[in-house]
């Protein structure tokens, strides 16, 4: 059950968090996958930039290509990409390069990807700034693609890279292919670079139990969105009325695919770029390759993710495979990721570490309260420090309530007599997991909000200008300190409602678990609202205060109605 936004203050809270936590991902592909010293030197250049975290290094000997993934503050990400390029300029020579992956430059492609707190338009500007600086510093040709493309004919990376490095000199001589930045002359050592902004792309490879590359190529043609060209018996293309080759579209939308042989694995591989995992989920790509392989008398022997993927891609795949196994899809995210990894053989080449392969988990702060043991958290809570405090505990109480709602639903799914309720129980479990995760995040946010007030209070006030800046900072920080627990209270209400549903729909033997969950979430809501009210007293913006007070009244009205329903269900289910 979704808890709707209550007022415009929700937008203020979201915008403030985003501005403070803007994160951009950058995934440069360098044309070197064999020389360890070069690979390491580029990695060091990236890691040397402050406010950037190097998340993954994925070298390939057969492709002779290394994909780096890093994330951080927008301007810091540009500096890291430039530092990596400068290093590569001294170490990579394209004249000697050979590999199975299409390429046209030492830094072949460098996309900027919005993760949080930043728009696609802003990432487009980052890509253009990077491209201009790269071209100026190294005197190399740079092209813009995808969302940053200067014209429609250059949106596609494949179109820009057509002819690859070997055909680059001729391309640069063509006025139609004048680079967007830098000189229109061939640089034999560097080649050319493509940069741009795009949504998250999944580089996903599926291994076949054969070394016959023609099988992989055949499957790739069948699946990729662009499909294949129809052929006559003499292998010439079938032409349409305008004289153009006729194409049969592939099975998978927003997917590019090729087939090749991977020497180190001794197998053929279907290599895919999933351009939009919401259009073609990871599980769907895996299942499609499996079906096409089986149709040809072969099987899939595992798969791999090159670089990192968003949590949602693997979580959704885990839900699919749980449903396929007639098990609950409403498990915690980590369990769903584990299910996806096993089902798709993502660990077939060794351990698949979610904390290194999932973007949000790899980048998230390392000092989160919610990652500590219960004992450590309780110890810190009982210390003389004012934070974490009641606001953090309120969020935790709500999270525990949501967790119990999910537990009751999961214990009921698949049990005899609950077949007709399966979809309702799945919905309860999945929504409860979402609310649980949101509240655990708010537990840390509440502590951060208090610390921001302390930081604002420490600002100097030696003159009227400084006093004004300090006063404004204190007011903004206090608004945040009110809005964070307000968000917790809304989520706690959602947990209460889900516990009531679990009490009604779940097994009688688990009814007391649902009841305890309801009481925990109710305590969380009331505790969170106490924290909202105490902060409202220090806010001078009357319209803001009135808006939040209306939200509080709405929450209390809904909470009261939910509690009446809960007591009625408790009496009906347990008789007390």
Confidence (pLDDT) at 18: 39
**pTM to 2 decimal places:** 0.77
Confidence band for 11, pLDDT divided at 50, 70 and 90? very low
- Please determine, for residue 63, whether its predicted confidence score (pLDDT) is greater than 80: yes
- Would you state the structure tokens that stand for residue 502, as one six-digit string? 């679990």
Q: Are residues 377 and 328 in the same domain?
A: no
As a whole number, mean pLDDT of residues 560-573 equals 94
Least confident of 27-36, 123-132, 230-239, 256-265: 230-239
As a whole number, mean pLDDT of residues 309-332 equals: 94
Task: Out of 148, 170, 197, pick the residue that ends a domain.
Answer: 197
Confidence class for position 365, pLDDT limits 50, 70, 90? low
Same domain, 269 and 383: no
pLDDT of 347 reads 93
Would 16 be classed as within a structural domain?
no
Question: Average pLDDT, whole number, for the chain?
Answer: 92
pLDDT of residue 231: 86
Distances 7 to 12, 13, 14, 546 between C-alpha atoms, Å: 10, 11, 12, 11
- Count other Cβ atoms within 10 Å, centred on residue 260: 18
* pLDDT greater than 70 at residue 305: yes
Q: Which of 57, 35, 34, 33 is nearest to 45 (CA)?
A: 57
- Contact call for residues 76 and 129 (beta carbons, < 8 A): no
Find the mean pLDDT for residues 251-272.
94
26 close to 53: Cβ distance less than 8 angstroms:
no
pLDDT in tens, 466-516: 999 999 999 999 999 999 999 999 999 999 999 999 999 999 999 999 999
Q: What is the mean pLDDT of residues 191-214?
A: 95
381 shares its domain with 323:
no
Residue 116 lies in a domain: yes
Q: Which CATH number does the domain housing residue 258 bear?
A: 3.30.70.670
Structural domain contains residue 6: no
Asked whether residue 9 carries a pLDDT value surpassing 50, the answer given is no
- In this prediction, residues 547-559 reach a mean pLDDT of 96
User: Which tokens in the block code for residue 207?
Assistant: 């291994």
- Whether pLDDT at 3 is above 60: no
CB burial of 301-332 (b: ≥16 within 10 Å; e: otherwise) equals bbbbbbbbbbbbbbbbbbbbbbeeeeebbbbe
Q: Is the peptide bond before 388 cis (omega within 30 degrees of 0)?
A: yes
Q: What is the mean pLDDT of residues 436-457?
A: 91
What is the distance between the alpha carbons of residues 561 and 89, in angstroms, rounded to a whole number? 67
Question: 186 and 48, same structural domain?
Answer: yes
Task: Give the pLDDT score at 10.
Answer: 46
Does residue 199 surpass a pLDDT of 70? yes
Domain boundary among 359, 391, 417: 359
Which CATH number is 403's domain given? 1.20.120.680
What is the structure's pLDDT at 16? Answer: 41
pLDDT confidence band for 19 (50 / 70 / 90)? very low
Q: Report pLDDT digits (tens) over 129-147.
A: 999 999 999 999 999 999 9
pLDDT at 5: 42
**Does residue 325 sit in the same domain as residue 447?**
no
What's the number of domains the chain is made of?
Answer: 3
Length of the chain: 576
Does 271 reside within a domain? yes
Q: 322 and 417, same structural domain?
A: no
Residue 378 φ then ψ, to 5° = -65, -40
Count of CA atoms in the C-beta half-sphere (13 A) of 394:
29
**Domain that includes residue 181, residue range:** 21-197
Structure token digits, residue 245: 């080759």
Q: Is the pLDDT of residue 13 over 70?
A: no
Task: Say which CATH number the domain at 131 has.
Answer: 3.30.990.10
Give the pLDDT of residue 387: 83
Asked if residue 226 and residue 141 are part of one domain, the reply reads no
Residues 227-241, mean pLDDT to the nearest whole number? 86
| Residue 234 CB neighbours (<10 A) | 5
Q: Which of 150, 170, 197 is the last residue of a domain?
A: 197
Residues 492/391, Cβ–Cβ less than 8 Å: no
What phi and psi values does residue 364 have, to the nearest 5 degrees?
-60, 155
Write the secondary structure of 47-112 as one string of H (helix), E (strand) and C (coil). HCCCCEEEEEEEEECCCCEEEEEEEECHHHHHHHHHHHHHHHHHHCCHHHCCCCCCCCECEEEEEE
Chain segment 516-526, per-residue pLDDT in tens = 999 999 999 99
pLDDT at 49: 95
What is the model's pLDDT at position 246? Answer: 86
Whether residue 158 is found in the same domain as residue 49: yes
Based on the domain organization, do 320 and 383 belong to the same domain?
A: no
Quick one: 223 and 345 in the same domain?
A: yes
pLDDT at 352: 92
Amino acid 414: pLDDT = 87
Residues 168 and 152 in one domain: yes
pLDDT at 239: 86
pLDDT of residue 21: 64
**Which residues are the active-site residues?**
101, 446
Does the pLDDT of residue 235 top 90, yes or no? no
Q: Is residue 3 part of a domain?
A: no
What percentage of the chain carries pLDDT values higher than 90?
A: 78
Residues 298 and 381 in one domain: no
Torsion angles phi and psi, residue 184, rounded to 5:
-90, 50
pLDDT for 6 equals 45
């Amino acid at each position: 059950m979704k808890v709707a936004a209550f007022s415009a203050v929700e937008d203020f809270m979201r915008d403030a968090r985003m501005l403070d936590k803007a994160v951009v991902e950058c995934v440069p592909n360098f044309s070197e996958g064999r020389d360890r010293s070069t690979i390491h030197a580029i990695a060091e250049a990236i890691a040397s930039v402050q406010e950037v975290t190097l998340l993954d290094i994925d070298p390939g000997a057969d492709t002779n290509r290394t994909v780096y993934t890093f994330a951080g503050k927008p301007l810091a990400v540009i500096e890291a990409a430039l530092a990596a390029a400068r290093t590569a300029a001294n170490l990579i020579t394209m004249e000697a390069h050979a590999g199975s992956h299409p390429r046209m430059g030492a830094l072949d492609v460098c996309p900027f990807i919005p993760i949080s707190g930043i728009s696609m338009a802003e990432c487009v500007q980052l890509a253009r700034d990077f491209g201009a600086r790269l071209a100026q510093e190294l005197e190399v040709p740079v092209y813009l693609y995808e969302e940053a493309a200067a014209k429609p004919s250059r949106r596609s990376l494949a179109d820009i890279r057509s002819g690859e490095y070997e055909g680059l000199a001729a391309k640069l001589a063509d006025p139609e292919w004048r680079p967007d930045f830098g000189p229109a002359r061939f640089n034999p050592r560097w080649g050319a670079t493509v940069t741009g902004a795009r949504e998250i792309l999944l580089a996903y490879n599926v291994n076949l139990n054969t070394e016959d590359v023609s099988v992989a190529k055949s499957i790739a043609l069948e699946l990729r969105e662009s499909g294949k060209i129809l052929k006559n018996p003499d292998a010439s293309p079938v032409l349409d009325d305008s004289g153009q080759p006729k194409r049969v579209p592939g099975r998978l939308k927003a997917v590019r695919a090729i087939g090749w042989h991977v020497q180190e694995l001794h197998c053929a591989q279907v290599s895919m770029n999933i351009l939009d995992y919401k259009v073609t989920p990871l599980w769907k790509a895996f299942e499609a390759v499996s079906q096409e392989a089986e149709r040809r008398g072969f099987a899939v022997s595992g798969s791999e993710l090159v670089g990192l993927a968003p949590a949602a891609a693997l979580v959704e795949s885990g839900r699919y495979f749980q449903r396929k196994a007639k098990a609950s899809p409403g498990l915690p995210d980590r369990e769903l990721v584990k299910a996806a990894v096993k089902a798709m053989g993502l660990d077939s080449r060794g351990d698949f570490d979610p904390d290194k392969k999932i973007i949000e988990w790899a980048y998230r702060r390392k000092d989160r309260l919610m990652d500590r043991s219960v004992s450590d958290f309780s110890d810190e809570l009982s210390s003389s420090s004012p934070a974490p405090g009641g606001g953090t505990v309120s969020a935790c109480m709500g999270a525990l309530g949501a967790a119990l709602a999910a537990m009751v639903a999961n214990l009921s799914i698949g049990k005899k007599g609950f077949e007709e309720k399966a979809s309702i129980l799945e919905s309860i479990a999945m929504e409860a997991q979402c609310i649980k995760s949101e509240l655990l995040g708010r537990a840390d946010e509440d502590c951060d909000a208090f610390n921001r007030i302390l930081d604002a209070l420490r600002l100097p006030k030696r003159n009227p200008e400084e006093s004004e800046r300090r006063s404004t900072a204190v007011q903004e920080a206090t608004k945040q300190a009110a809005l964070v627990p307000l968000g917790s209270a809304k989520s706690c209400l959602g947990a209460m409602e889900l516990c009531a549903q679990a009490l009604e729909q779940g097994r009688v033997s688990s009814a007391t678990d649902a009841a305890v969950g309801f009481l925990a979430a109710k305590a969380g809501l009331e505790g969170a609202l106490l924290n909202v009210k105490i902060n409202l007293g220090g806010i001078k913006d009357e319209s803001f205060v009135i808006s939040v007070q209306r939200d509080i009244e709405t929450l209390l009205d809904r909470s009261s109605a939910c509690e009446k329903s809960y007591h009625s269900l408790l009496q009906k289910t347990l008789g007390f």
